[in-house]
Amino acid sequence: MKFQVLSIIGHAPHPLTGQLPSSADRLADVIEVGVAAERLGYDAYAVGERHAGDFLSSSPTVVLGALAARTTRIKLLTGVTVVAILDPVRVAEDYATLDQISRGRVELVIGKGAEAGHFALFGLDEERQWDLQKEKYELLRRLWSEENVDWEGEFRPALKDVTTVPRPYAGVPRIWHGSATSLNSPDLAAKHGDPLFTANAIQPRAAYAKLIAHYRERYEEYGHDPAHARVAAGSGGLLIADSAEQAISRYRELYEAKVRQTFKPHLAGRAGYNTPFRTIEDAIADGPQLIGSPQQIIDKILGYHEVYGHDLQSVTVDGFGLERGEQIETLQRFAEEVAPVVRRAAPSTLWDTV
């Protein structure tokens, strides 16, 4: 298995102290943790994209560009690129530029995003979100794989003889489809033979297993070799201690305060917005959160792998208000005590060079 670190660059007051770092300090933390992730042997670092709520991730290409300048090996992903609200020409240009700067380390994870407010912000109808995503993704795909593109669609002006520049560094970057609640993204990924990145962040395991099973079924129905179907999975946050008892004692107040802070009453009942795992015991036992001893976390990831068959596991260390040093310490412990065991038990050829 491969491992990724994800930040959606949350910028809310600390759930216990109420302290709020400056935007500059918060962004510096994200970059420094990304540099540390490469040093610690992680395979990828991802930055989200949010245009509403308490986040600083409205310009992921800028943050990833800073990371590209400070790293040499680690893959640079998005988590997700909200293609439904963006101009595919601009996406093609921006990420191809980043791909050139990083010398071919860029991969996109596209999705509609997890913030309901961004469609109105960009003057778009949320009811058309899946139509927007499909059309804009398919145009992006053509812009990267073809030159002199002629195109007509519903949501932007037609194109005539268009070749976006720069071109990607070494062929079309891999595009994953982020999937959290709907079968639309798994179906679109399967249709085009693309990989699937399931959120695995809030809902119970069965909800994500359903999306992945649908993806694999449709992947084969569309005529693709099922052996080539790649899956990645997120997580609801990483907190490591020597034992479950220590994890509960150390993190209970922090975890449960964060759950209360992020609860969205206006979205109650909508899948994917509010976690049902409101106590730390629930999160350890049944939630997608990776909380507990190294062995508990190993067992949980391998348990997900039995169901998901995934190649890439994403972890997040900045979602609960840990300071930068604590984040890096957590990543180091995961890299030393968890990742080697999981890599041996669940090997993957993703990103292996031939």
- pLDDT mean across residues, the chain: 95
Structurally, the chain folds into a number of domains equal to 1
Summarised one tens digit per residue, pLDDT across range 128-162 is: 999 999 999 999 999 999 999 999 999 999 999 99
Whether residue 82 is predicted with pLDDT greater than 60 in this model: the reply is: yes
Helix axes 324-333, 23-39, angle to 10 degrees: 20
pLDDT at 280 over 50: yes
Has residue 351 been placed in a domain? Answer: no
pLDDT of residue 232: 98
Taking the model in full, what pTM does it have? 0.96
Q: Would you call 78 helix, strand, or coil by DSSP? A: strand
Q: What is the mean pLDDT of residues 252-257?
A: 95
Q: Is the pLDDT of residue 114 over 80?
A: no
Contact criterion met (CB below 8 Å) for 180 and 111: yes
In a domain, 350, yes or no: no
CATH number at residue 268: 3.20.20.30
Residues forming beta bridges with residue 179, ordered by sequence position: 198
Average pLDDT value for residue range 282-301: 97
Closest to 67 measured CA to CA, from 4, 151, 22, 138? 4
- Residue 178, SS3 per DSSP: strand
Residue 97 in contact with residue 167, Cβ under 8 Å? no
Distance of CA 88 to CAs 81, 147, 171, Å? 11, 14, 17
Instruction: Return the half-sphere exposure (C-beta side, CA atoms, 13 A cut-off) of residue 110.
Output: 31
Q: What is residue 262's predicted lDDT score, i.e. its pLDDT?
A: 87
Q: Give residue 265's pLDDT.
A: 80
Please tell me the distance from the alpha carbon of residue 149 to that of residue 139, in angstroms, as a whole number.
9
Tokens of 337: 């005590």
The pLDDT of residue 99? 98
231 by DSSP, 3-state: which?
A: strand
DSSP state letter for 197: E
**The pair of three-digit structure tokens given for residue 245, joined into one six-digit string:** 């008892």
The alpha carbon of residue 296 and the mean position of all alpha carbons in its chain are separated, in whole angstroms, by: 23
Residue 354 lies in a domain: no
Contact 196, 186 (CB under 8 A): yes
User: Which residue, 170, 153, 175, is CA-closest to 162?
Assistant: 153
Is residue 115's pLDDT more than 80?
no
pLDDT at 354 over 50: no
CA pair distance 245, 247, nearest whole angstrom: 5
Question: Mean pLDDT, to the nearest integer, of 165-169?
Answer: 98
pLDDT band of residue 256 (cuts 50, 70, 90) is: very high
* 252 assigned to some structural domain: yes
**Mean pLDDT computed over 187-216:** 97
Q: How far apart are CA 114 and CA 290, in angstroms?
A: 21
Six-digit token string for 57: 């991730």
Give the residue numbers spanning the domain of 171. Answer: 2-345
What pLDDT does residue 12 have? 96
Q: Give how far the C-alpha of residue 83 lies from the chain's centroid of Cα atoms, to the nearest Å.
A: 14
Q: How many CB atoms lie within 10 A of CB 19?
A: 8
pLDDT band of residue 268 (cuts 50, 70, 90) is confident
Residue 152 exposed, middle or buried by CB count within 10 Å (0-12, 13-18, 19+)? exposed
Question: What is residue 271's predicted lDDT score, i.e. its pLDDT?
Answer: 76
Q: Give the pLDDT score at 264.
A: 80
> Is 102's pLDDT higher than 70?
yes
pLDDT tens track for 39-76: 999 999 999 999 988 999 999 999 999 999 999 999 99
Q: Cβ distance 176 to 81 under 8 Å?
A: no
> CA nearest 235: which of 201, 262, 212?
201
Q: Do residues 81 and 111 make contact, with C-beta atoms less than 8 angstroms apart?
A: yes
Average pLDDT over residues 314-336: 97
DSSP 239: E
**pLDDT of residue 290 exceeding 90:** yes
Residue indicated by tokens 């101009």? 87
Distance, in Å, from the CA atom of 160 to the CA atom of 216, rounded to the nearest integer, reads 36
Q: Which amino acid is at 237?
A: G
Alpha helices (H) in 193-270, listed in sequence order: 205-221, 244-262
Q: What is the C-alpha separation between 60 and 331, in angstroms, rounded?
A: 22
